[in-house]
């Protein structure tokens, strides 16, 4: 059956596209390549099961490959560390339909200090900033808990300190629909689609945080509150496409990070979701989201994306 989405009364055939999936860590062979490879395989399989042809970059220069391949594809998605994602996304969105968050919004979310400030101004609880005493010190731009630690010492260049919130570490996986026109902050369109709430296994070893993996789906006692705060955060920041909102549940629900990109939880989600994430991402890019998704079963996964149950 041919799937048709109508935008401005013109029919658009989205049943069989060439989709560029550009995953940075596997392309460059970084220390996060195992995790990147697992996310890439999960997405590639979902797009292919949805009837699309997946194109992967080759060569030696990631940005050059995106610029070369994107015009040959009907859509594309970049997966990269936060501090690099905006620039590569900009290359993609200038040449084809971007299935992820817009480059402007990505650039804003990559700065954890600015993100926290704007969320706080809208009434979202975030860990308060601290300059002295025992606190969590983290990079202003970073991912995967790298460089995050509890310390009384001075902050290094490009770091900031915030209060340590002891509680349950969770993430909410969402898909935001496309905003008509240019990507912009603080849109007030249709609320993002909730895909799943995931539990994160965070280990603190000699004061340093380490992400060990997680499980999905989970249904904590304050599920509705958790989902509501995550959706608010994603909407305030204009997140489109897939996004992961990290929260710590304590006396309140605290938003501790906003990831405007594919996260490791996707390797578990594609195992339990009846719908295809690839199809949802394409439909969302045309402003169409389903009312809900259906999850069946439960899986655990490691930090490098291996399914363990």
What is the per-residue pLDDT for 141? 86
CATH architecture of 4-302: 2-Layer Sandwich (3.30)
Could you give the percent of the chain with pLDDT greater than 70? Answer: 92
Higher-pLDDT residue of 146 and 121 is: 121
Is residue 189's pLDDT more than 80? no
Percent of the chain whose pLDDT exceeds 90: 84
Distance between start and end Cα atoms, the chain: 34
User: Where does the pLDDT of residue 1 fall: very low under 50, low under 70, confident under 90, or very high at 90 and above?
Assistant: very low
How far is it, in rounded angstroms, from Cα 237 to Cα 186?
A: 5
DSSP code for 191: P
Helices (H), 14-163: 24-28, 33-49, 62-69, 82-93, 103-110, 112-121
Alpha-carbon span 45 to 295, nearest angstrom: 18
- Residues 111-131 have a mean pLDDT of 96
Q: What pLDDT is recorded for position 59? A: 87
Contact between 162 and 129 under an 8 Å Cβ cutoff? The reply is yes
> Which phi and psi (to 5°) does residue 190 adopt?
-60, 135
**Per-residue confidence at 276, pLDDT binned at 50, 70, 90?**
very high
Task: Look up residue 164 and give its two tokens.
Answer: 């340590």
The DSSP secondary-structure symbol of 6 reads E
Residue 232 banded pLDDT, cuts 50, 70, 90? very high
What is the per-residue pLDDT for 12? 60
* Band (179; pLDDT cuts 50, 70, 90): low
Banded model confidence at residue 5, pLDDT cuts 50, 70, 90: very low
Count of CB atoms situated within 10 Å of the CB of 76:
28
Q: Which residues, at least 6 apart from 119, have a Cβ–Cβ distance to it below 8 Å?
A: 126, 233, 236, 237, 255, 258
- Nearest-angstrom CA–CA distance, 47 and 282: 9
Is the pLDDT at 308 greater than 70, yes or no? yes
| pLDDT on residue 31 | 86
Parallel, antiparallel, or unpaired for β 75-79 and 18-23? parallel
**How many angstroms separate the CA atoms of 158 and 149, rounded?**
14
Is the pTM higher than 0.85? The answer reads: yes
The model's confidence at residue 8, banded by pLDDT at 50, 70 and 90, is very low
- What SS3 class is residue 9? coil
Per-residue pLDDT tens digits for 150-162? 999 999 999 999 9
Q: What is the pLDDT of residue 144?
A: 66
Task: Say how many residues make up the chain.
Answer: 309
Residue recorded with tokens 């590639």: 44
The answer on pLDDT for 181 being more than 50 is: no
Taking the domains of the chain in order of start, what are their residue ranges? 4-302
Per the prediction, the chain carries an average pLDDT of 91
Q: Are 192 and 175 in contact (CB under 8 A)?
A: yes
Token pair, residue 248, equals 């710590």
Judging by beta carbons within 10 Å of its beta carbon (0-12, 13-18, 19+), is residue 66 exposed, middle or buried? buried
* Distance, CA of 65 to CA of 67 (rounded, Å): 5
Question: Where do the H-state alpha helices sit in 94-219?
Answer: 103-110, 112-121
pLDDT in tens, 14-58: 779 999 999 999 999 988 899 999 999 999 999 999 999 999 999
């Amino acid at each position: 059956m041919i799937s048709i989405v109508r935008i401005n009364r013109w029919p658009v055939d989205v049943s069989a596209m060439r989709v560029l999936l550009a995953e940075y860590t596997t392309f460059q062979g970084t220390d996060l390549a195992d995790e990147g490879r697992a996310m890439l395989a999960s997405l590639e399989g979902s797009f292919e099961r949805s009837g699309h042809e997946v194109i992967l970059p080759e060569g030696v220069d990631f940005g050059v490959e995106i610029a070369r391949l994107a015009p040959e594809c009907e859509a594309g998605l970049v997966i990269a560390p936060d501090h690099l994602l905006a620039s590569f996304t900009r290359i993609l969105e200038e040449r084809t339909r971007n299935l992820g968050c817009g480059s402007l919004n990505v650039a804003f979310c990559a700065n954890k200090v600015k993100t926290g400030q704007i969320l706080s101004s809208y009434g979202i609880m975030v860990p308060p900033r601290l300059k002295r005493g025992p606190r969590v010190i983290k990079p202003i731009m970073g991912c995967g808990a790298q460089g995050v630690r509890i310390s009384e010492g001075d902050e290094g260049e490009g770091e900031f300190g915030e209060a340590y919130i002891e509680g349950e570490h969770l993430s909410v996986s969402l898909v935001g629909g496309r905003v008509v026109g240019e990507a912009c902050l603080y849109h007030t369109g249709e609320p993002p689609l909730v895909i799943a709430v995931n539990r994160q296994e965070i280990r603190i070893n000699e004061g340093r945080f380490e992400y060990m993996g997680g499980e999905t789906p989970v249904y904590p006692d304050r599920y509705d509150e958790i989902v509501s705060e995550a959706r608010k955060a994603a909407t305030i920041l204009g997140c489109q496409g897939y996004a992961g909102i990290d929260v710590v549940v304590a006396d309140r629900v605290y938003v501790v990070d906003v990831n405007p990109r594919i996260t490791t939880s996707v390797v578990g989600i594609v195992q339990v979701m009846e719908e295809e994430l690839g199809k949802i991402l394409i439909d969302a890019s045309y402003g169409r989201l389903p009312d809900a998704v259906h999850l069946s079963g439960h899986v655990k996964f490691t930090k490098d994306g291996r399914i363990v149950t």
